[in-house]
Amino acid sequence: MSDNVGDDTGHAMAEGFHPTRWSEDQIRDRALAQGLNLPDACMPGIKANLALLEDRWATVEAALAAIGDVR
């Protein structure tokens, strides 16, 4: 996997979460890395939800930038 790996290690970079750029194969690979085998029937719903999550992350990221990083 290339950018923004969706893992649980904490080592992945948080910035730049762009799942709408992922191909279906990439989505499946990332899910498999979590132990999830995606049924075909789920793919449209997952893509729609990933698009929402991408939008929500962009909003949070912009807010963090606006308030001056709170880390």
Q: How many residues of this chain interact with another protein, rule: CB under 8 A?
A: 43
Count of CB atoms within 10 A of residue 22's CB?
A: 20
Site for another protein in 9-68 (CB under 8 A): 9-10, 12-14, 17, 19, 27, 30-31, 34-39, 41-42, 45-46, 48-50, 52-53, 55-57, 59-64, 66-67
Least distance to another protein, CB of residue 13, Å: 7
Q: Alpha helix (H) ranges present in the chain?
A: 24-33, 43-67
The residue count of the chain comes to 71
Our CA dihedral for 1, 28, 24, 45, rounded to 10 degrees, sits at -130
Identity at 23, one-letter amino acid code: S
Residues that bind another protein (CB under 8 A): 4-10, 12-14, 17, 19, 27, 30-31, 34-39, 41-42, 45-46, 48-50, 52-53, 55-57, 59-64, 66-67, 70-71
